[in-house]
Structures are given as structure tokens and as C-alpha cells.
Amino acid sequence: MVPPAPTSEVTTALHGPVLVVSIHNPPVNALSAAVRRGLADAMAQADATPEVQGVLIVSEGRTFIAGADIREFGKPPVPPALPDVCQRIESCTKPVVACLQGAALGGGLEVALASHHRLAFAAAKLGLPEVELGLMPGAGGTQRAPRLMGAKAAAELMLSGKPISAQAGVQAGLIDRLEEDTRLSPLAAGLAYTQALLAQGAPVRRVRDRAVAEPAAALVALQALADDTAKKSRGLFSPLKIIEAVRAAVELPFDEGMALERRLFLACIDSPQRAGLIHAFFAEREVAKVPEARGAAPRPVASLAVIGGGTMGAGIAAAALDAGLPVVMVERDDEAIARGVANVAKVYDGLVAKGRLTEGQKAATLARFTPTTRYADVVTVDLVIEAVFEDLEVKKAVFRQLDAVCKPGAVLATNTSYLDIDAIAAATRRPQDVIGLHFFSPANIMKLLEIVVPAQVSPDVVATAFELAKRMKKVPVRAGVCDGFIGNRILAVYKQAADYLMEDGASPYEIDAAVRSFGYPMGPFQVTDLAGGDIGWATRKRRAATRDPWARYVEVADRICERGWFGQKTGRGFYRYPPGARSGQPDPEVLAIVDAERARKGVRPRTFTAEEILRRYLAAMVNEGARVLADGIALRPLDIDVTFLHGYGFPRHRGGPMKYADTVGLPQILADIRRFAEDDPLFWQPAPLLEQLVAEGRNFDSLNQPAD
Ligand code: 3HC
Ligand code: NAI
């Protein structure tokens, strides 16, 4: 007799001589405490039940096991620990078979590696993605994978975090057999395989008993990987720990390797990088949970149009084509549309040149692309994205035309970076259909999409925008209407802090270096040079008339632009870019311009340490973030975090600016702001929300409640 199932997440049933251990923990069968306990109990049951000759581990649903339950990290551990469960599986006295479908990731793959035989459906994906969460495999993955696939390949799998196909798993030696028949259920395929193995008298086969192949060569390869990783991993904690653990698989007996893996894993768990990366993982999934997207059904979108074929129009067109949509592009005249077509073609020519696309695929994609100069050609499309010049009157004129020609119910979106979308909507007789879709450049590559929600938009239009983002594989963030929405509004403030630092005594090069040391790929002045100084200059000139005459305004960038130095494209900006140089070089003439501006304003330069630079830069970001929250422009702090992770290069392992503020502690951020305010009380006014949270002893995360 088989005793009743140990937990509702793990059930057992005898199929002839095979004990089927079935995991049911939707949505992704994560290894929660109940699943771990269920698996351990099932192994005890298999050992204790004489009728059982073999064990099959299968999962219900679309995926085998997505790994450890990420929500448990950072909380007090609940036994049994996963390494012990894997150990229990491996020590089972009857042959244990794992049947993998969907994703077998992290702890999920480790459960499979602890089993004695592995069958995988051809579409299964296998991976050890812990590094993406600031972790390393912690349930024997660092010890068992190298024994099966070799130390170098195993370390590469763990360092990349990217999954491999089941076919690649077979070639690497991780998987014993591929199941090609997609009609079979995991239970049917797994049972057939287990029965066949039993019929052949297949043994209990423990990975721990194997040795890593070619140990001397493996150590050399690991050293090369360690050197490379130290250079590339920009201060990340877990990658070097992964290599250390894999080295132990080569050099130490299995149990000692496991003990080292445990110590290193726990050090990763304690690292703030783990907290930042796991915050990013969940925040990226929470952002799509907005009231409108929950409550309303999206409108169907089978075709799309872009108005404008410049930098953004072409990128958006490519993003939509890549999502499989037919795309119409409207430009002003024949010459402009020819440029628009060339801009789109350039994207695909680049992909062909890199070998990422064949000529045939390019032709098939471009067959869905219709360039035109006639607005009449958008009458049937379901969704239009306007990307013309950043000028309210030009945009209003475009929307009046769209209002005149588009079919009823078509969604009318604008890609404006700053302008008032309520005013744009008011130019039409259908403001309920008008929304902001703020893509980032290059739009076919950058993941962030700010979905800007004007006052009168109907909820199903918001839901449609979120659905489109999903189809385009974008990370959508809901934003309210204001000058710059979430991202550019906050950017404007911390960029100002950087300008003040420069005028007060730090060089642009010191500021960039400090910002890079925090984990950014580039500093703010390098970004200006990359984007082109002329873009910001045009905005500043446009705003000159409305600028507060009492507010401090740093003119260094204007002086640089007046010389025609627009950054990389002109060979000079804040940096010099000599022909053939790979990166910009500091420019004494720029430093002289900075000095002259200081002298003109009577500023006596001070020195700033890298830490002081960062404190000001980040405090400005967090303070404006708090205002954006209080104004309802961002729904939750996590929306700001995701905006900065995917649109502005904020280092992912810090989780985003608001998460970073929580990590440092809001009292410290507020104290910094009050200290900076002693010199400049106008700029450094603490945001009331920040003061309130500090007074109440709360952090930003306390505001990250699901939006209902
Ligand atoms: N633990 C807890 N929840 C998880 C989870 C996990 N390992 N993986 C996914 N989820 C949750 C998501 O948060 C989401 O919840 P929500 O619906 O409430 O927002 C839900 O499951 C569905 O996830 P996705 O939206 O991501 O679904 P997809 O179908 O797009 O992707 C997936 C599925 C490929 C499995 C993807 O979720 C994924 O990559 N998950 C993380 C895998 C991972 O990192 N595993 C390693 C964990 S660490 C580990 O195992 C340590 C061990 O070595 C000791
Ligand atoms: P761009 O100058 O490269 O392209 C604008 C295009 O619009 C031009 O090709 C022009 O011919 C066309 N156009 C102008 N009036 C038109 C009309 N009435 N009908 C059809 N086409 C018309 O400008 P870019 O950089 O592509 O910007 C477009 C919009 O996207 C702006 O609102 C900008 O603020 C926004 N944006 C720009 C980003 C960037 O990094 N460049 C990032 C995010 C948003």
C-alpha cells in the first residue's frame, strides 16, 4: 500500500513498479518548502516500499521546475534545505528518473542532476540562471554539472545564466534522452522511459560518483575564465564565487565541494546585490499589473502605423515588424519617406551583416512594411504611433489629421518625450483613444516603454498598450502626464545636480568616473556626447523663455555646443574623439571653458570626493523620485526602479534608485539633502514624501503594494 500524498504540492502514485512523484505548485513549480518536503518524503516512501522498483519525478503544468522559490530568499530558512533534498534524491536506493518539460532552471535543473536518469522534451530549456539574481547554484549544481558536462562548459552555463536547449543538453551530457513526441504528456513519456530502463536493469547512477573529465585542462580553462570574469563583471559578487565552486568540483572530494558551495551560496544570499537583483526580477513582473490592464480587455491590434520615419519612427517600425505586425509608415514628402525607408532598411541590413538574419528573413519582414506619404493609407490600422518633431503645434496638427482619417476605435499614440499629452488628446474629438507610448532610442533594442496615461484615456486603450508592449517584448511602465513623465523628469534633476557639481569644482571626467564606479556603464557627460549635445541644447533654447530667472543655470554645455562640439558625431563634445580612438579623451579646452564659466560667475572651485559626487547625484535622483511618486506620476517606487534599470543604465544589481535609497536608508538620504541645502536651499528642498517616510520610520518598499 502506498501511503497518502505527503503534501498537496507533491503527490505520489504507484504505476506498476514505478512510483510517480508529481509536482504541482503553479505557476512555475518553484521549489517551495512544501515541495521540498514533499520530494524528500517521496524518496523515503520509495525506499520503504518494496513494490517500488523505480521512481519518476514529473511536474504538472507547462514547466518542470523554475528553481528555488525566489520569494523565500532573505527570509528565515525553512527546512528541508534544497541541497539536502537533492542529496536525498541522489541517495535513493531505487533508480530515479526526471522527466523535463518547459523550463528546468536553477534548483529545477539541480533536482534533475541529482536524479539518476534524465529525459527531456525537445522544447525544454535547461539553465542555471542564479547569477542573474546575484546567486550561484546552491543545491549541488556547481558540483554535479561539471561532473557531467566538464568544468569549463558548466562554468560558462552558470556565468551566462542563459538556458540551453534540450538538444544541447544531450550533446553536453546533461540529458540522457530526448523525447521528440510532443503529443505525449510528461507522465506518459516519463513512464515509458522509466519502464524501459527498469526492463534493461538500469542501475542507480549517481553523478557524485563521477570525476570531472581532464582535470588539469579544466583548471587552466577555469583560470582563464576567472581572469576574464574579473575584468568584465564590474564589481558583481557571485560570478567569481561560481568559478571558485566549480574549481572545487575538480579538486576536492564531492562532499567537500558541496560544503564549499554552501558557504559561498550563503555569502551570495547575504549580499545586497542579491537583494537588488531579486527586487529587479519581481519589479519587472509587477510593472505590468496596473489597474486598467487588470480591469479592461485590450482592443485587438492586427496592424500598426508610425507617423514620422526619423530616428524614433524607424526604430518603432522595426520593433513592430519584429513583433510580426504589418506596419505603415507615413512621412511628409517623397524625400522624407525615402529617408524613413532607408532608416528601416539600415536596421535590417545591420542584422544581416552580423549574421543574425538571412536575406530571405529580411525580405519577408520588409514585405509587411508599407511606406507612404498619404494619411489616407492609415484608415484601416488599429493603432497609430506618432513620432514627428517634438513640437506641440506640429503634433496637434498630426493628431487632427489622424482624427479625420482613422477608423473609430483606433488607438492614437504619441511618442513625445516631454509634451502635454492631454493637450494633444484635446486636439482630437476622441481623447479617450489617445495615449502616450514613449519608446527609448534605439526603439527596436531598448526594453523600456513608458505608457503615459492622460486624463481622458479609456482603460481598454491602456490595456491595449500593455498588451502591445508584451508582444514587442518591452518592459512597460505606467506613467502620468507631466514634463518628462517618470524618466526624463527625474533625469533632468540629477543632470542638474551633475552640472552644479561641475560648476562648483568637480571636472566632468571626475563626475563620469564616480558614476561609473557605482556600476553605470557611462557617466552623464559621456551619455551627452553619445546622444549628441545638440538635442539637449535645442530643448534648453526652447525653454529659455520660460526658465525661472532666479534658478541656477549652468552654461558650460551651451558654451560647448556654440563651438559646434556635439559629441561623438562631431569628434568633440565634453571629450575629444580622435579618429580611430575607441573612447573619448579628456579635453583641456573643455576644462578651460569650465574654469571660465566658474570665473564669470565668481565660483571658487572646491574639491569633491567620488563618494560626495555620488551622494549628490543619487540624492537628487531619489528626491525627485519621491516627488514623482507623490504627484502620482509613478504608481509605485518599483515603477521608477524599472524605468531607470531599463531606460537609463542604472546598475541592475542595485535594484533601481528607490531600492538603492532603501538599502542606504532613507534617514541618510534625507540628512544628505539637508546638508546640501545649507549651500543651495532652492535646489535641495527635501521632497515632503521623503520627510514623511523618514518621520514614520518607513521605506519606499512599504509603498510597493499591488495596485488595485
Ligand atoms: N520562484 C518564485 N516565483 C517565481 C519563480 C521562482 N523561481 N519563477 C517565476 N516565478 C513567478 C513570477 O514572479 C510570476 O509571478 P506573478 O505571476 O505573480 O507575477 C510567475 O511565476 C510567472 O513567471 P513569469 O511571468 O516570469 O512567467 P514566464 O512564463 O514568462 O517565465 C520562467 C517562466 C522562464 C520560469 C521565468 O519565470 C523565470 O525565469 N523564472 C526564474 C527562474 C530562476 O531564476 N530560477 C533560479 C532560482 S534560484 C535557485 O534555484 C537557487 C538554487 O540553486 C538553490
Ligand atoms: P527626427 O527628427 O529624427 O524624426 C522626425 C520625423 O518626423 C522626420 O523624419 C520628419 O520628416 C517627420 N515629420 C515631421 N512632421 C511630420 C508630419 N506632419 N507627418 C509625417 N512626418 C512628419 O526625430 P526623432 O528623434 O525621431 O523624434 C521623434 C519624436 O520622438 C519626438 O517627439 C521626440 O521627442 C521623441 N523621442 C525621441 C527620442 C530620441 O532619442 N531621439 C527618444 C524618445 C522619444
Q: How does pLDDT run across 221-267, given as a tens digit for each residue?
A: 999 999 999 988 878 999 999 999 999 999 999 999 999 999 999 99
Query: Is 415's C-beta closer than 6 angstroms to any atom of ligand 2?
Result: yes
More confident residue, 295 or 300: 300
Strands 304-307 and 327-330: parallel
Query: Residue of the nearest CA to atom 24 in ligand 1?
Result: 285
Distance 125 CA to ligand 1 centre (A): 13
Q: Please check whether residue 700 is in contact with residue 637, taking contact to mean a CB–CB distance below 8 angstroms.
A: yes
CA distance 336 to 338: 5
Could you read off the pLDDT of 122-150 as tens digits, one per residue? Answer: 999 999 999 999 999 999 999 999 999 99
- pLDDT above 90: percentage of residues in the chain: 93
- Ligand nearest to the CA of residue 307, numbered in listed order: 2
- Per-residue pLDDT, averaged over 377-401, amounts to 97
Residue with cell 519612427: 313
Distance 308 CA to ligand 2 centre (A): 6
DSSP state, 500?
H
Strands 434-439 and 411-414: parallel
At 437, is the secondary structure helix, strand, or coil? strand
Produce one character per residue of 259-279: b if its CB has 16 or more CB atoms within 10 Å, e if not.
ebbbebbeebbebbbbbbbbb
Could you read off the pLDDT of 26-71 as tens digits, one per residue? Answer: 999 999 999 999 999 999 999 999 999 999 999 999 999 999 999 9
- Per-residue pLDDT, averaged over 295-305, amounts to 96
Query: Residue of the nearest CA to atom 3 in ligand 2?
Result: 310
- Ligand nearest to the CA of residue 527, numbered in listed order: 2
Strand partners, 370: 328
Query: Is 437's C-beta closer than 6 angstroms to any atom of ligand 2?
Result: no
CA distance 51 to 459: 59
- For residue 354, count CB atoms less than 10 angstroms from its CB and return exposed for 0-12, middle for 13-18, buried for 19 or more: exposed
Which stretch of DSSP H or E encloses residue 467? helix 459-471
Atom of ligand 1 nearest to the CA of 67: 50
Q: Is 331 a catalytic residue?
A: no
Strands of 30-171, DSSP E? 54-59, 96-100, 103-105, 117-121, 125-127, 164-165
pLDDT at 4 over 80: no
Q: Report in angstroms the alpha-carbon separations of 307 from 396, 549, 688.
A: 13, 37, 41
| Band of pLDDT at residue 292, cut at 50, 70 and 90 | confident
Could you read off the pLDDT of 505-534 as tens digits, one per residue? Answer: 999 999 999 999 999 999 999 999 998 999
Query: Residue of the nearest CA to atom 30 in ligand 2?
Result: 387
Cell numbers representing residue 282 in the block: 519581481
Atom of ligand 2 nearest to the CA of 439: 43
Classify the C-alpha dihedral 331-337-343-349 as positive or negative. positive
Task: Give the pLDDT of residue 211.
Answer: 96
Options 9, 51, 90, 130, the catalytic residue: 130
Atom of ligand 2 nearest to the CA of 386: 29
Task: Give the pLDDT of residue 550.
Answer: 84
Query: Is 139's C-beta closer than 6 angstroms to any atom of ligand 1?
Result: yes
DSSP calls for 346-365: HHHHHHHHTTSS-HHHHHHH
- Per-residue pLDDT, averaged over 557-575, amounts to 96
pLDDT at 2 over 70: no
- Ligand nearest to the CA of residue 452, numbered in listed order: 2
Task: Give the pLDDT of residue 542.
Answer: 84
Q: Is 678 a catalytic residue?
A: no
What is the residue type of 199? A
Task: Give the pLDDT of residue 490.
Answer: 98
Distance 240 CA to ligand 2 centre (A): 45
Produce one character per residue of 448-470: b if its CB has 16 or more CB atoms within 10 Å, e if not.
bbbbbbbeebbbbbbbbbbbbbe
Mutational pocket test of ligand 2: of 306, 307, 311, the residue with most ligand atoms within 8 Å of the beta carbon: 311
Distance 151 CA to ligand 1 centre (A): 26
Query: Is 70's C-beta closer than 6 angstroms to any atom of ligand 1?
Result: yes
Task: Give the pLDDT of residue 3.
Answer: 52
Strands of 341-480, DSSP E? 369-372, 383-386, 411-414, 434-439, 448-453, 475-480
Distance 69 CA to ligand 1 centre (A): 8
Options 90, 110, 179, 510, the catalytic residue: 110
Nearest to 685 by CA among 553, 493, 503, 546: 493
Query: Is 542's C-beta closer than 6 angstroms to any atom of ligand 2?
Result: no
Chain centroid offset of residue 697 CA: 30
Distance 533 CA to ligand 2 centre (A): 17
Find all residues with CB under 8 Å of 263, minimum gap 6, and list them.
Answer: none
pLDDT at 706 over 70: no
CA angle 157, 159, 165 (to 5 degrees): 25
Q: Report in angstroms the alpha-carbon separations of 86 from 40, 61, 76, 475.
A: 8, 22, 20, 35
List of domains in the chain: 10-269 (3.90.226.10), 301-479 (3.40.50.720), 487-703 (1.10.1040.50)
Q: Report in angstroms the alpha-carbon separations of 315 from 311, 357, 441, 448, 477.
A: 6, 17, 7, 13, 19
DSSP calls for 250-298: HHS-HHHHHHHHHHHHHHHHHSHHHHHHHHHHHHHHHTT--HHHHHSPP
Find the DSSP H helices in 33-76.
33-48
Distance 417 CA to ligand 2 centre (A): 10
Distance 397 CA to ligand 2 centre (A): 14
Q: Report in angstroms the alpha-carbon separations of 222 from 55, 138, 144, 153, 237.
A: 36, 19, 16, 10, 17
Give the CA count within 13 Å in the CB-facing half-sphere of 51.
11
Query: Is 398's C-beta closer than 6 angstroms to any atom of ligand 2?
Result: yes
Query: Residue of the nearest CA to atom 20 in ligand 1?
Result: 27
Distance 188 CA to ligand 1 centre (A): 26
Task: Give the pLDDT of residue 171.
Answer: 98
- Ligand nearest to the CA of residue 65, numbered in listed order: 1
Which stretch of DSSP H or E encloses residue 23? strand 18-23
CA distance 128 to 136: 8
Could you read off the pLDDT of 660-700 as tens digits, one per residue? Answer: 999 999 999 999 999 999 999 999 999 999 999 999 999 99
317-321, 387-391, 619-623: which has the minimum mean pLDDT? Answer: 387-391
Mean pLDDT over each residue of the chain, to the nearest integer = 96
Q: Report in angstroms the alpha-carbon separations of 162 from 159, 222, 381.
A: 8, 19, 37
- Give the largest Cα separation in the chain, rounded: 92
Find all residues with CB under 8 Å of 77, minimum gap 6, and list them.
Answer: none
Q: Please check whether residue 485 is in contact with residue 414, taking contact to mean a CB–CB distance below 8 angstroms.
A: no
Q: Please check whether residue 508 is in contact with residue 502, taking contact to mean a CB–CB distance below 8 angstroms.
A: yes
Distance 3 CA to ligand 1 centre (A): 31
Query: Residue of the nearest CA to atom 36 in ligand 1?
Result: 66
Query: Residue of the nearest CA to atom 52 in ligand 1?
Result: 107
Find all residues with CB under 8 Å of 367, minimum gap 6, and list them.
Answer: none
Query: Is 332's C-beta closer than 6 angstroms to any atom of ligand 2?
Result: yes
Task: Give the pLDDT of residue 580.
Answer: 79
Q: Please check whether residue 290 is in contact with residue 478, taking contact to mean a CB–CB distance below 8 angstroms.
A: yes
CA distance 334 to 270: 60
Residue with cell 567620488: 610
- Per-residue pLDDT, averaged over 607-619, amounts to 98
- Per-residue pLDDT, averaged over 491-500, amounts to 97
Radius of gyration of the chain (CA): 29
Task: Give the pLDDT of residue 1.
Answer: 42
What is the residue type of 463? A
pLDDT at 294 over 90: no
CA distance 261 to 255: 10
| Band of pLDDT at residue 535, cut at 50, 70 and 90 | confident
- Per-residue pLDDT, averaged over 492-516, amounts to 98
Atom of ligand 1 nearest to the CA of 265: 54
CA distance 4 to 22: 13
Atom of ligand 2 nearest to the CA of 339: 9
More confident residue, 443 or 540: 443
Q: Please check whether residue 140 is in contact with residue 114, taking contact to mean a CB–CB distance below 8 angstroms.
A: yes
Mutational pocket test of ligand 2: of 306, 307, 312, the residue with most ligand atoms within 8 Å of the beta carbon: 312
Could you read off the pLDDT of 147-178 as tens digits, one per residue? Answer: 999 999 999 999 999 999 999 999 999 999 99
Task: Give the pLDDT of residue 6.
Answer: 53
- Ligand nearest to the CA of residue 339, numbered in listed order: 2
Nearest to 473 by CA among 350, 365, 320: 320
Query: Is 67's C-beta closer than 6 angstroms to any atom of ligand 1?
Result: yes
Model pTM?
0.94
